[in-house]
Amino acid sequence: MTSEAEILFEEKGGLGIVILNRPRTLNALSTAMCRALDEKLIYWAGREDIQAVIIEGSGEKAFCAGGDVRALAENGPKDPRAAEEFFATEYRMNARIFHFPKPYIALIDGIAMGGGVGVSVHGSHRIVTERTLFAMPETGIGLIPDVGGSYFLPRLPGRLGLYLGLTGARLKAADTLYAGIGTAYVPSDRLAALKAALVERPLNGPQDVDEVIAGFAEDPGAAPLDEFRDLIDAAFDEDSVEDIYDHLDALDHDWARQTLTGLRRLSPTSQKLVMEQLKRGATLDFDDCMIMEYRLVNHLVSYQSDFFEGVRAVLIDKDNSPRWSPASLEEVSRDHVLKHFESLGDRDLKL
């Protein structure tokens, strides 16, 4: 086993095994972890004897709860270099996973949010368990659903992607399968046996992996999202965030009231950025989505944006009372939104 302390690598049979190894921080990603994973994937892609890759998290709570954004925000906009380096390294690694030429199997056993989604959802196989808790909660900290959210969210069924990206709604196993985020449900206590079966069998492509997983897969039950699917598709098919608010406000339904109440707590700037981000992402290829996201996050760390206030309120002071600026959707101008999409010139992400 090779150890970078925060991330572990092992080769067993024809498998390359990745273990995210920061259980005390819910396996949050650091720059070093992203770089190490990227380099290992390059190496394993060229190895004929490595037939597939498995990634999992250590501990019992999380697969990966995201990037270590608290550390990124500590220096503030006066010195955004650490944040810029992290996002560039992470996004290159995300692209490596998306383009990886062999089966890439994520065992999403526990919390998977933000960066944890980026190291799982772009792989060929996404195994969920009864402990899976999926979300893209970035609008709650003044950020955007990055790590390829621009690409995969608009491609989910109906308007589920925009709903998840704006609200940060949390999904369990059945809902992840319903949305196409997970590809199979396997109970947590059967994951070790699944790994052993994958080690023992020669894997000559995704079909062989499918057959092994099928021997362990079970039915997670009904998806709660299905009950509200028509409401989601109608409300989140509006042309602007303001129109979504109006649509929800006009509905005499508990789901609509709860959804609207939740949205009103989130960063107005982030919500408008997400609306534009996912509209554009629906027509872009994956690499262009990553370039766009890198522009967005670089602009967000370059001034005293809601990102720094959101991290303060949620992760540092933990008062959960962010003071967003601007404080309302109406105050977020179109020009302000579009500035975040401007090219960085020579600093644009290179993939």
User: Which residues have a catalytic role annotated?
Assistant: 67, 115, 138, 146
Query: From CA 331, how far away is CA 306, in angstroms rounded?
Result: 14
184 contacts 212 by C-beta, under 8 angstroms: no
H/E run at residue 94? helix 81-98
Beta bridge partners of 226: none
Query: From CA 299, how far away is CA 84, in angstroms rounded?
Result: 10
51 contacts 14 by C-beta, under 8 angstroms: yes
For strand 52-57 and strand 15-20, is the pairing parallel, antiparallel, or unpaired? Answer: parallel
Residue 146 vs residues 24, 56, 139, 215: alpha-carbon distances, Å: 24, 21, 11, 34
Query: From CA 91, how far away is CA 86, in angstroms rounded?
Result: 8
E runs forming strands in the chain? 2-3, 7-12, 15-20, 52-57, 62-64, 104-108, 111-113, 125-128, 133-135, 184-185
By C-alpha distance, which of 252, 228, 246, 249 is closest to 163? 228
Query: From CA 206, how far away is CA 52, in angstroms rounded?
Result: 9
Calculate the CA dihedral of residues 258, 264, 269, 273 and round it to 10 degrees.
20
By C-alpha distance, which of 183, 235, 239, 242 is closest to 214? 183
